Structure 1
Amino acid sequence: MSAQREELHQLIDDLPDEQVPATLALLRAQTGRTTSEWPPSWFGAAEARQPDISERVDEILQEELGRSA
C-alpha cells in the first residue's frame, strides 16, 4: 500500500462520526459510486389527516368535484 493510501486510511479513521456522512458522499462522488436507496429515508415522513385516503379515492372525488366517479 502506498504512503498516500495509508495516510488516507488514517485520516478516515480519525474522522469524527458527525463528519462521516458528508465525507462518504464526497468519496462516492469521486469514485462514481452512488447509493440508489429507494425509497429515501424521508419518504413517507408526512402523515395524512385521513390515512385511508387511497381507499376512498372515488368518494373523495365525488365530494370534491360533485360528480360520480
Structure 2
Amino acid sequence: MSAERDELMRLVQGLADDQVPEVLDDVRRHLRPVRDKPWPPRWFGSAEGDGTAVGARSEELLAEGFGR
C-alpha cells in the first residue's frame, strides 16, 4: 500500500462521525463507477503463447517478489 493511501486511511479513521457524510460526498465526486472500465482491458491476451510458461514458473516469480 502506498504512503498516500496509508495517510488517507489514518485521516479517515480520525474523522468525527458527524463529518463522515460530508467527506464521503466529496470523495464520491472524485470517483468514477467501475462499470466505466471495459473488461477485459485492451492489453489482455496481448502476449504470445497460452500462459503455461508463466504458470509453470509461478512459484519462482512469486519468490522473486513479482506482484509486490
**TM-score calculated relative to the size of structure 2:** 0.46
Q: Considering only CA atoms, is the larger Rg found in Structure 1 or Structure 2?
A: 1
**TM-score calculated relative to the size of structure 1:** 0.45
